[in-house]
Homo-oligomer: A and B are copies of this chain.
């Protein structure tokens, strides 16, 4: 058990962490801070946190573990602001959806204290954002990826690992570049495709009438298009180099399908669909 956990940023993820960690006795006190002070107060009133810090310096000065739950674009400034306020052995972690950029920023900003930083990414979320959407089982059985550097302190890694495991998450350790390459495929590209698809539907001359002609397939396929555009703009830009290549790859598949459709090539269409269905079945099995 640590004495003080500090959560910086009380949105969906920060709020859900507060709800999840509170009953576990992982820490004695949870201190929270959000640049939106009304949000900090709300978290205190809901008893998600034990103390509402009036500013960043107060929030972090006695913290044993600091978890940064702010948008990617706010990360660097925040880290800059706290680096001289934290205790010598305080451990810092984050929840950003990109890890290479974040890790590089942290290396540049933290200097010697970089060994205390354990980059992390819980693969859990919702198309809803904000404190109101926070829930205590958001991380239950979900994957959390940690991407420590070779300089990262082993005890710091262990602490962050046990922190997530207390919330019933499954922790996996890998390197930041690999993380970003894989997440580009499994999360960032589908996010962009879902956004694109909603825009394409919106352009239809029968919108919004067309929205009535939808079933569960449409609903599930487009759910992530409801996600916060500001947050996603940051993530996409931070992983843009990889994503430019990935979109190209996806486009090759699209072209192959177009050719099959152009030629009404029954066998090729069937082969494309069958191949995909088998890959989806493998996913279903691997996820049990």
Contacts and interface: CB of A to CB of B under 8 A. Distances in A.
Interface of A: 123-125, 127, 142-143, 145, 172, 179, 181-183, 185-187, 189-204, 206-208, 210-230, 232-233, 236-237, 240, 243-244, 247, 249-251, 253-254, 257-258, 261-262, 264, 266, 269-270, 272-277, 279-284, 286-287
Contacts of A198: 276-277, 279-280, 283
Given A233-B266, A233-B273, 12 more contacts: A145-B213, A186-B201, A190-B222, A196-B250, A199-B253, A199-B279, A200-B249, A203-B249, A203-B253, A207-B279, A211-B286, A221-B221
A223 B222 contact: no
Contacts of A208: 282, 286
Nearest to A228: B277
A280 B128 CA distance: 12
A116 to B, nearest CB: 26
22 contacts: A123-B215, A125-B216, A186-B201, A187-B215, A187-B217, A189-B200, A191-B217, A196-B257, A196-B272, A197-B250, A197-B276, A203-B249, A207-B279, A212-B286, A217-B223, A217-B224, A222-B283, A229-B273, A229-B276, A232-B273, A240-B261, A240-B264
Contacts of A203: 249, 253
Given A190-B217, A253-B196, A279-B199, A226 B143 contact: no
A219 B276 CA distance: 14
A203 B252 CA distance: 11
A278 to B, nearest CB: 8
A197 B207 CA distance: 25
Contact of A185 (B201, B244, B273, B283): B201
Contacts of A250: 196-197, 200
